[in-house]
Structure 1
Amino acid sequence: MLTITRPNLQLLYQQSPGFEFLGRIMAERAVQSASERAAALSCDTPEERYLSLMTQNQDLFRRVPQKYIASMLGISPESLSRIRKRILSPAKFLT
């Protein structure tokens, strides 16, 4: 990870239009991501949020403790455990 102070970032933007463009694109993506997350938290069910996160970031579930995933989904770790059990249980009978 790279960190940069705000004054140095502004200087970099002034000196390089390419970096200014990159900074704008990164800011737009961050705003879009935050907006999508807020909409999902208010509109989607916890199961829908879990399935969406699972589809988009499968590797996340191997690297991040369940309590943090539950927090990202806006639910308790116990609720996440129940959702996982409900979703994964039918899979046992299909194989």
Structure 2
Amino acid sequence: MAFELDGELVGTVRAVPIGHGLTLAEKLRLQAGLAPGDTYAGGWEMGRLVINPEYRAGPESLRGFLYLSLSFLHGLSAVGMCRCSGLRKPIR
């Protein structure tokens, strides 16, 4: 998914459907020895948000991009619950 403002690409985010063994949430559950279950059935994982440095303005811009992503995704498939999973990684 890409974010565009006045014809300029300002950011991207990846949306991956859950249930195919491709998401971090699924991999973490597997590593923890938890059954896949149907907790995330029909769900999506959002990740790899990249924002053009000119449009980075702290936590508020991050919230804005995540809100736009979830709003768009909700238009495609009803979002009933949001969960977060992540790995701590140094920022380059």
Fold match (TM-score > 0.5): no
Larger Rg: 1
**Higher RCO structure, 1 or 2 (CA under 8 Å, sep 6+):** 2
Which TM-score applies when normalising by structure 1? 0.26
More helix as a share of residues: 1
Which TM-score applies when normalising by structure 2? 0.26
